[in-house]
Amino acid sequence: MTRDPATEESEVRRVLDELWNEKLLPFTLSVGKLTKESDEYIIHFHDSRISTARVPLIEGLSFRDMVRAAVLCRVAKMSGPLSWPEKLGDAHIFNTDDEEI
């Protein structure tokens, strides 16, 4: 089943809003565009600190969960000091086999 790109982009926006509201991101991110490759999506952000995040397409995992994991991993890889919100919980992402990603 082919998914509508507008639906996918809306889902990415909702996930980014949730991550910000949960205080898991040090700054807000907005989607510039979403491109689909054969085995992944690439989120292009309107931000000078982080330009893209790659979302692998893994059977058995939801698109939403993979976006969450990809964005959190990408932000964690940034170099330099980050201004995190005061309350930052432990962000552990697990796949369906309970293995940490």
Mean of pLDDT over the chain: 81
Question: How many C-beta atoms lie closer than 10 Å to residue 74's C-beta?
Answer: 18
Give the mean pLDDT of 60-87. Answer: 79
Which DSSP category does 89 fall into?
Answer: -
pTM: 0.73
Give the pLDDT band (50/70/90) at residue 18: very high
- Whether the per-residue pLDDT at 42 is higher than 50: the answer is yes
The HSE-up count of residue 18 (CA atoms within 13 Å, CB side) is 14
Give the pLDDT band (50/70/90) at residue 81: low
Question: So where are the chain's domains?
Answer: 5-76
Task: Give me the sheet containing 40-45, strands edge to edge.
Answer: 31-36, 40-45, 52-56
Asked whether the beta carbons of 63 and 78 are under 8 A apart, the reply is: no
- How far CA 79 is from CA of 2, 12, 59, in Å, comes to 36, 24, 31
